[in-house]
Amino acid sequence: MRPELRTSMNGAHLVIAALEAEGVDTVFGYPGGAIMPVYDALYHSSLEHILVRHEQGAALAADGYARATGKVGVCISTSGPGGTNLVTGIANAFADSVPMVAITGQVATPLMGTDAFQEVDIYGITMPVVKHSFLLRDVADIPRVMREAFRIAAEGRPGPVLIDLPKDVATAQTDLHPLLAGPQQASRAPEPAAASRAAEMIRLAEKPVLYAGGGIVIAKAVDTFRRYAEMSGIPVVTTLKGLGAVPTQHGQCLGMLGMHGTRAANEAVQNCDLLICVGARFDDRATGNLDGFAPHAKVIHMDADPSEIGKLRTADVALLGDLNKSLATLPAAAGIEAWQAQCERDKVKGAWRYDAPGDGVYAPAMLRQLSEEADDNLLLTCDVGQHQMWVAQHCQISSPERHLTSGGLGTMGFGLPAAIGAQLGNPDACVVCITGDGSIMMNVQELATINRYRLPVKIVLLDNSCLGMVRQWQDLFFDGRQSEVDLSDNPDFVQVAESFGVPAFRVERRDEVGDAIKTLLNSDGPVLAHVRIDPAANVWPLVPPGKSNSTMMEEA
> What residues act catalytically?
55, 117-118, 167, 469
Residues contacting 505, CB < 8 A, separation 6+: 494, 516, 519, 527, 528, 529, 530
The side-by-side arrangement of strands in the sheet containing 403-405 is 403-405, 378-382, 430-436, 458-463, 527-532, 504-507
Query: What are the C-alpha distances in Å from 528 to residues 65, 404, 458, 503?
Result: 21, 19, 6, 6
Contact 323, 219 (CB under 8 A): yes
| DSSP E strands, 154-313 | 160-166, 173-174, 208-212, 236-238, 253-256, 274-278, 298-303
Contact 263, 541 (CB under 8 A): yes
SS (H, E, C) 40-75: HHHCCCCCEEEECCCHHHHHHHHHHHHHHHCCCEEE
Report the C-alpha gap between 178 and 14 in whole angstroms.
Answer: 7
Residues contacting 319, CB < 8 A, separation 6+: 190, 191, 194, 195, 198, 300, 301, 302, 303, 326, 329
Residues contacting 3, CB < 8 A, separation 6+: 9, 13, 14, 16, 17, 20, 41, 44, 45
Report the C-alpha gap between 517 and 361 in whole angstroms.
Answer: 13
Quote the longest CA-to-CA distance of the chain: 73
Spatial CA neighbour of 323 closest among 393, 422, 400? 400
Contact 260, 387 (CB under 8 A): no
b/e 210-234 (16+ beta carbons within 10 angstroms → b): bbbbbbbbbbebbebbbebbeebeb
Report the C-alpha gap between 167 and 108 in whole angstroms.
Answer: 5
Report the C-alpha gap between 57 and 72 in whole angstroms.
Answer: 16
Burial of 353 per CB tally in 10 Å (0-12, 13-18, 19+):
exposed
Spatial CA neighbour of 342 closest among 274, 244, 254? 254
Query: What are the C-alpha distances in Å from 167 to residues 39, 138, 141, 391, 458?
Result: 12, 11, 14, 44, 39
Report the C-alpha gap between 547 and 543 in whole angstroms.
Answer: 7
Give, as one character, the DSSP assignment of residue 322. Answer: -
